[in-house]
Structure 1
Amino acid sequence: FGLGLVGLFHPWAAYVITGGLSLAAAPQLWRLFQQGRTWKFTNPPHPLVVVYLAVIGLLALLVALLPPTDWDGLFYHLTAPKLYLEAGRIVSGIDVPHFSFPSLMEMLFAWAMLLRGDIAAKLLHFSFAPLLAGLVYLTARRFLSQKSAWPAVVILASMPMLGTLAGWAYNDLALAFYQLASLYAALCFLQLAVSGQRSAVSDQRLSIIALSAIFAGLAMGLKYTSFVTPVVVGLLILWDALRTTYHALRTTSHPLRSTFYALMPFLLFCLIALLVASPWYLRNWFFTGNPVYPFLYGLFGGAFWDNFRTEWYAAAGTGIGWRPSTLLGLPWLLTLGVRDANYWDGRTGPLLLLFLPLVIGWALFRRDDRPPALNALLFYMTAQFAFWTLGVIWSRALWQSRLLLPGLVALAPIAGWVWSELPRLDTPQFSFSRFVNIAVVLTLALTVIDTGLLTQKINPLPYLTGLESRDDYLTRRLGAYYAAMQQINTDLPLESTIVFLWEPRSYYCHLDCRPDSILDEFPHLVDQYQTADAIARNWHDVGVTHVLIHRNGLQFVLNEQPETIDTGVLSALEENYLQPVFDVAGAYQVFEFEFEGGSSLRAGD
């Protein structure tokens, strides 16, 4: 981020700094390697677990090694870094609100793209999958029980969305990792307090709090929605501080000093988390005037934004509402994925649904005989689920199961612990644990088959073995979209400025392409200028030379919100100001924009 601000987005800078950091880390890595040679695995997984994890991981890796085709990657996760690298620095003044979201992952992608390219960026996100699995293992083993560690990993890996996201240039796995890491460090802090090491100013406890805060700040550097984690972790630390304060006030002659020492971990957590997260919010403040752009427009305002776009983006009142039947059915709908904004990255799998009633039962009826950290994990998971539920109640745009991934990741250790405790319910007449084990094995087998079929549909081997070129692969996977981008790159003049209508992806466009980021470009123009003539004059004033219309995207909006499209104004624009240049399979049409002397060139035809 700092290199981008000072204009040092160049490969030589990336290689020099990467080499320097590698040399600095080499001694520590060597020590870890030496320790690893003598390390004994005290809790080996079942061979079937090894096979399952290896197959699922390999299938995800095959997809991660392919050129990017994922929607949000082509929309903004990779597009923003690409534009910054082309400019050699981080630039402002781009009307894509998602570029102003917290951008830690985009900066990591930029680093990978400088070193190797966009596939390296995808692999960077893939690397968070094993890191996340390892953290789930550690969480279950340290805070619940040793025998629950591998069941927790299996439940995590049973979610089809995990493998799907691992193969894409998204930020969700990194977000889940940083949030769980913050909670993990906080649980270590609380564990020291429970074990009697309660000295509020001990270096060990403060260093653990600092680590938790750093991870919380990194999470806030990925998504606005990550604020749930610092709030929950902060409350856990504050609760411990209040208990310490209550005890100190009863036993000390210096209540103010004792209160300050007790609150120091909480204050330190808040300070460090805000400092780590602050670069992205300060960037927005300087670039747009709004630290949380484009949200809270009524309070802060913001460039390129107005009340129309605020209402359009929020889509308030379009969610599921407060119907009890729908709310109670949310876990089932999550499992099916049929209501998700994107089915493929929203599948949680049936294992979590299978274990959810058991988790609820254990939470209600085993209040005394359970690990102390379980309450904190349940609190964290419930807070994540409650926040996500409020979102889907409010707006259909927020029905995205992957936004719940941090909560589902926290559920995995809990479900793994419940799974490991099921033999308690066995009787001579019926083994409930064996019944669950059979259901789990069948579910995992079906998951492998399903994932294998999806990978076969993608067919990665021709590209990975060199039998298929990058262009051929992208044409096969992206079809008319990639063909349209290629034709724009080759057929239009280099100085062209192309406005996209109903197409938010511009990664493969090498000219000055201005995507329709939230599918509001045309309705917003109509709201501002009312007539085709006024819209044409605005396009002329801002230097537009061509217009791309995504007909399938237009039809999607007409099916969902027909009242938002003024077809009369669109027809007038096409008839009077747009000259066809080329058409790709009827899906994408590119027009040359014609305007001269304040009127259409064809006004007199």
Structure 2
Amino acid sequence: MTPATAGACTAATAVVLAAALLGTAALGARRASDAATVALSLFLLELTWLVKLLLLAGVFRPAGAMGGALLLLAATAGAVLAGRGSRRRIAALWRAVRQRLRGAPRRSFAGRRPSPFMLPAVVLAALAVLVHARSLAVALRLPPRDIDSLWYHLVAVAAWVRTGELAPAIENLSKDGDLGWTVAAETYPRDAETVSAWLSVFTHDTSLAGLTQFPFLLLMAAAVFGICRRLRAGRGPAVCAAALAVLAPTVVSQAYMAYNDIARAGVALAVWHVLLMAYPEADDRARTLPPRTALVLAGALLGLGIGIKAATVYLLPAAIVSGLVLRRAADPATRPGKAAGLAGLVLPAAAVGAFWYVRTWIGWGSPLWPVAFGPFDGPRTMDELVESARPPAWQGEPAALVVLRSWWSAVGRTGDAHWYVEWTGQLGLVWLAVLLPAALLLLGAALLGRPAGDRGRYRRAAFGVVLPVAAATLAAPGAWYSRYTMPLLGAGAVALAVLAGRTVARLPARRGRAAVLAVTPLVAAAVCAGLAGQFRYSTFRPMEDPGQAGFRASVRLLAAPAGERALEGVWGPYRGVDRLAAGTRIGFCAEDTPQYWIPLVLIGREYRRILVDLGSCTTASRIPALMRAADVTHLWTSRDSDIAERVRSTSAYTGLRDMRIAEFRSEYGWQLQLYTLAGPVRR
């Protein structure tokens, strides 16, 4: 990455953001908390679809991306000018801004008591900023190290950036042979990967890919804050809730990875914020989006979530139920009808979310390939994907009990250290000790609380937001995985803000402030205990493998010279792979599929090399002919595989020469063996 390429990426992103801000103003989002969620939602919807359209057109290059961004801004401006309602809303916003700039009288704060939540809000917000500033440094200064990014997330991105079109992630990839989960690079929904691709197209490498989830992290915080404000929690409790949601260990650990779990959680919580805009309470005079427009936006966000991760589909029925609950207290004069509410959610969700599933269905015969689910066949099952990875002590136990065990493991060690992808207990002590009890207390208050006025408010929060989000999240497969259940953090944080804010408001000022000051250290201690490693191992390791450097070593690594940082993790032992020329075609046998971090190590951080599936090789003697037929010059094998043993034992006859390209003394070195054709095949 050079300053010029980074500047081009920043400029093009700013153009897309400008289009989103213009759209936000045209839709009429005037309340700051609403406008933040709407703007980020529009930005991500526009960006993901812009990338897909550029890929379909075959012009996904730096010039095409910049041109597409400018066309998007021009189209948005044209649509705004053509719409009478949008022009009126922008004019009203402009008048409000001019009045503010001219010093129009503001509301007086004289006589108002200071919020007792000011101190915890400042402390938690500052902690969130500091922690994620470090996440930003890791994303920008270290190469990608996380397994799923190197295995398939960035493998898909590499093909798009290299070719400028929707090219296959791995050439000739097919159903033949045992391909493991490598097909995920070609068959999984990839809307989060379009953000990675946008960040990569200008630099043509992975240097900015670690920023993939930061827009979604901001969306997650903005949505939690906005939900709290829509449920009439004060600013202080809302800030505390937003900070707590993004300070859980699972969020902090993944913030700098090109994964998609933060993306899914941020979009899910934004759906409920927009639903609250669609169904404002009858006495809520805050300016917001037209109700039907808000419903369409909520449906589009559901579609974006489905395009990120298939498990988001479980949120759709929950969102429909929430809409019916929230509709009861909404203004009868403006609330959409039940049929309109259903259509407003389902139709945009289907239209926006179907893209990747239709392509996979056409290319692979099932929209969910390689997972067998319902009427769709596949070589793998959901149990293989999520349940078989349970810690050994939990195998065979009921799913609900495993979820509870996972939560409880935040206070102790469970079995051997897992990689991040299988980590338990990473919702942290703040979930177990603070947010989960708050959600349960809110549910109790909604059913039994007094006075009646508060009970109505609690019911709207509990049955309109917290319970549907939690139920849909826990109903999805693999609910014991901490990273799969990030929306729970938002639900619990909202419950805490609503319950704590209202409880303290009913107390005398001195007692309320004393209560908040007494609880704040306990909450902060729970947060810090989670960030310090939950009594196990550090949340701050720069790689998901728990055997890697701890917090102090990772801090030293961040300050190290660029040459040392570039060889961190798996990249050092395999530095010899980078000697291969750009465009080198590396084949592999279907019996010996590259997985874990191998695919991107072979492709390279500059996305220059190409992986090719040679199909089933059967015998080593067939490999040279298969390589020549596929125009492949190099063969990858895993050092301890059966096919590798056959290649080694027959190399004198096949002409395959071991390049000895890995540092075998490294703990990773055994996983990669690269051959090249050294001569003609002996007959």
Q: TM-score of the superposition, structure 1-length normalised?
A: 0.74
Q: Residues 166 and 538 from structure 1, CA distance in 2 versus in 1: closer, same or farther, beyond 3 angstroms?
A: same
Amino acid in the other structure paired with 1:84:
W
Name the CA distance, whole Å, in 1 between partners of 2:498 and 2:489.
14
Name the structure 1 match of 2:58: 7
**1:335 touches 1:348 (CA, 8 Å); kept in 2?**
no
1:321 to 388, 396, 401: 396
- SS of 1:221 mapped into structure 2: helix
* Deviation by residue 1:514-559 (Cα, 9 ceiling, x = unmatched): 399xxxx9xx95xx95x666788766765655443455xx6xxxxx
Shift of 1:90: 0.8
Find the partner of 2:202 among 110, 115, 119: 115
Residue 438 (structure 1) aligned to one of 482, 504, 521: 521
1:97 maps to which residue? 184
Corresponding residue for 2:427?
348
Partners of 1:472 and 1:442 lie apart in 2 by 35
Equivalent of 1:576 in 616, 629, 650: 650
Q: How does 1:385-404 map to 2 (within 5 A)?
A: 385-388=473-476, 390-391=477-478, 400-404=481-485
Contact 2:637–2:644 (CA under 8 A) maintained in structure 1:
no
Q: Which has the larger displacement, 207-216 or 371-380? A: 371-380
Partner Cα separation in structure 2 for residue 24 and residue 544 of structure 1: 44
Q: Going by fraction, where is helix more abundant, 1 or 2? A: 1
Residues 195, 273 of structure 1: alpha-carbon distance in 2 compared, 3 angstrom cutoff: farther
The 3 A distance-change label for structure 1 pair 223 and 85 is same
Q: Structure 1 CA distance, aligned partners of 2:622 and 2:507?
A: 73
Q: Per the alignment, in what secondary structure is the counterpart of residue 65 of structure 1?
A: helix
Q: How far apart are 1:133 and its partner, in Å?
A: 1.2
Q: Structure 1 residues 411-420 or 10-19, which shifts more?
A: 411-420
The 5-angstrom pairing of residues 369-388 of structure 1 reads 369-370=454-455, 371=457, 372-388=460-476
The amino acid across from 2:300 in the alignment is I
- For residue 285 of structure 1, the aligned residue among 329, 344, 361 is 361
CA distance in 2, matches of 1:493, 1:218: 34
Q: Is the 8 A contact 1:71 1:505 kept in 2?
A: no
* Counterpart-to-counterpart distance in 1, 2:162 and 2:524: 49
Name 1:414's counterpart in structure 2. Answer: 495
* Contact 1:109–1:124 (CA under 8 A) maintained in structure 2: yes
Structure 1 range deviating more: 539-548 or 274-283: 539-548
Query: Root-mean-square deviation (CA), in Å?
Result: 4.5
- Aligned-partner residue type, residue 363 of structure 1: L
Partner of 2:133: 58
The answer for the alignment partner of 1:295 in structure 2 is 371
Q: Distance in 1 between matches of 2:253 and 2:342?
A: 37
Inter-CA distance 34–214: structure 2 relative to 1 (3 Å threshold): farther
AA partner of residue 444 (structure 2): L
Between 113-122 and 373-382, report the one with greater CA deviation: 113-122
| Of 426, 429, 439, the match for 1:359 | 439
1:161 aligns with 2:256: no
Does residue 458 of structure 1 match 2:551?
Answer: no
- 1:76 aligned to 2:152? yes
Contact 1:59 1:455 in 2 (8 A): no
How far residue 266 of structure 1 moved from its aligned partner, in angstroms, is 0.6
Do the aligned partners of 2:583 and 2:610 also contact (CA within 8 Å) in 1? Answer: no
Counterpart contact for 2:410–2:427, Cα < 8 Å: yes
Structure 2 unpaired stretches of 5+ = 1-51, 81-89, 110-114, 174-182, 534-538, 542-549
Going from structure 1 to structure 2, the CA distance change for 1:110 and 1:336 (only over 3 Å counts) comes to: farther
Task: Give % identity.
Answer: 20
Q: Which moved more, 1:586-595 or 1:227-236?
A: 586-595
1:81-230 alignment to 2 at 5 Å? Answer: 81-92=157-168, 94=170, 95=173, 96-116=183-203, 118-146=206-234, 147-192=236-281, 204-230=290-316
TM-score for both structures, normalised by structure 2: 0.67
Q: Distance between the aligned counterparts of 1:203 and 1:441, measured in 2?
A: 36
In structure 2, how many angstroms separate the alpha carbons of the residues matched to 1:210 and 1:24? 19
Q: Conserved in 2, the CA contact under 8 Å of 1:241 and 1:263?
A: no
Rounded Cα–Cα distance in structure 2 between residues aligned with 1:366 and 1:270? 29
Gaps of 5+ in 1: 248-259, 393-398, 555-566
Distance 1:80 1:128 in 2: 20
Matched, 1:468 2:544: no
Q: Distance in 1 between matches of 2:355 and 2:645?
A: 45
The worse-fitting range, judged by mean Cα deviation, of 499-508 and 345-354 is: 499-508
Q: Helix, strand or coil: the match of 2:673?
A: strand
The one of 401, 406, 430 aligned to 1:330: 406
Q: State the number of aligned residues.
A: 538
User: Residues of 2 paired with 1:97 and 1:152: CA distance?
Assistant: 35
